[in-house]
Amino acid sequence: MGQGHQYRRREGRAVRGSTNVKRIAAVILGLAVSTIANAQPWPSKTIRYIVPFPPGAFNDTLARTLANELPKALGQPVIVENRPGGNTIPATELVAKSPPDGYTLYGAALPFSVIQSLHKTSFDVTRDFAPITLAGISANLLVANTAAPINSVKELVAYAKANPGKLNYASTGNGTSNHLSFELFKAMTHTDVTHVPYKGSAPAVTDLIAGEVQVMFDNTPNVLPHVRSGKLKAIAVSTKSRTPYAPEVPTVDEAGVPGYDVSVWFGVLTVAGTPREIVNRLNTEMVRILTSAEVKERFAKLGVDVAAGSPEQFASFLKSEVDRWAKVIREAGIKAD
């Protein structure tokens, strides 16, 4: 009788245990069904496109071109947010710390690949970002104020050596392509030219035209219209080969500084860890937009060649740029002013 009683107690516990397991399983299943039911396909809300530069330059043009066209394919608005200043660090950090959900895009350019070589940052450009596509490549134009006694690279070098520290060059801030282009030029020509940083291309070019500064390297789209209108004079282009958009202008290399070569690039990234299917969807739509005849023609008029490709191609390109500029900065002794 005692054994039968113990058996019935054990059997009761077994039944209750089985019931509890079933209840727990039912709760888990209910939560899973609820989660699936509430899950929304991407994208289901506004996408932010962070530009670490002010309006007016090509970074902004690229962002607004994509922001205008992407909603037609994605069904959600894309809002451009210009967040200039702080050597692009605040805007870049903002994106690096955003959720990896495909709702934050970042408009990168050449400065992105040098930021860690010049500054201490809380992020890593190759670890904390997911490349989507390279978008375009351009040359920097070396331009001068029309009243400056400079009409060639040789004249610039001669004047700078005869007047050390008296010549001023503008840039759009520390670590930008125009800053690095001129610092590399100084290192290779052993000249002393004073750096005057601005918060963007527009104010820098305005002061260059007014004669507040005398020379500047700047992205072709930003200064070519002023060269064509006679407000600035073009001295040289930064790339190894001449640009088809100003074929009469010699390269810095052929004009007297052998080996000089700087190409400016623009691309789009998002946050590392973003689901691959979202990155691929963004890549597909952006490449389609960028390679359209209309956009290619529009960018060509600004002096930019479309260079859209796969995320893997952009990742490889970005790594090569990070490595290249780290070496240049180290060997040339370039510092963030």
pLDDT in tens, 176-214: 899 999 999 999 999 999 999 998 888 999 999 999 999
Give me the chain's average pLDDT, please: 89
Q: Where are the beta strands (DSSP E) in the chain?
A: 47-51, 78-82, 104-109, 129-145, 168-171, 194-197, 215-219, 232-237, 263-271, 305-306
Q: What is the 3-state secondary structure (H, E, C) of 146-184?
A: CCCCCCCHHHHHHHHHHCCCCCEEEECCCCCHHHHHHHH
pLDDT above 70 (res 267): yes
| pTM for the structure as a whole | 0.80
> Is omega for the bond preceding 250 within 30 degrees of 0, making it cis?
no
pLDDT band at residue 37 under the 50/70/90 scheme: very low
Contact 237, 145 (CB under 8 A): no
Domains of the chain (ranges; CATH) run 47-137+263-332 (3.40.190.150), 139-237 (3.40.190.10)
Write the pLDDT tens digit of every residue in 64-112.
999 999 999 999 999 999 998 888 999 999 999 999 999 999 999 999 9
DSSP one-letter string for 222-246: HHHHHHHTTSEEEEEESSSS--TTS
Query: How big is the chain by its Cα radius of gyration, in Å?
Result: 27
Average of pLDDT values for 32-56? 77
pLDDT for the residue 20? 53
User: Which range is most confident: 15-19, 57-61, 71-75?
Assistant: 71-75
Lowest mean pLDDT among 156-160, 201-205, 279-283: 201-205
pLDDT band at residue 271 under the 50/70/90 scheme: very high
pLDDT band at residue 25 under the 50/70/90 scheme: very low
Average of pLDDT values for 118-140? 95
pLDDT band at residue 15 under the 50/70/90 scheme: very low
pLDDT above 90 (res 336): no
Q: Name the helix (H) or strand (E) containing 277.
A: helix 276-290
pLDDT for the residue 4? 52
Measured between its terminal Cα atoms, the distance across the chain in Å is 93
pLDDT above 90 (res 331): no
Distance of alpha carbon 12 from alpha carbon 18, whole angstroms: 10
Average of pLDDT values for 308-332? 93
Sign (positive or negative) of CA dihedral 196, 199, 200, 204: negative
| pLDDT over 70, % of the chain | 88
| pLDDT over 90, % of the chain | 75
Query: What b/e sequence results for 249-284 when a residue is b if at least 16 CB atoms lie within 10 Å of its CB, and e otherwise?
Result: bbbbbebbbeebebbbbbbbbbbeebeeebbebbbe
For residue 69, what are the CA distances in angstroms to 32, 86, 168, 205, 295? 36, 30, 40, 29, 11
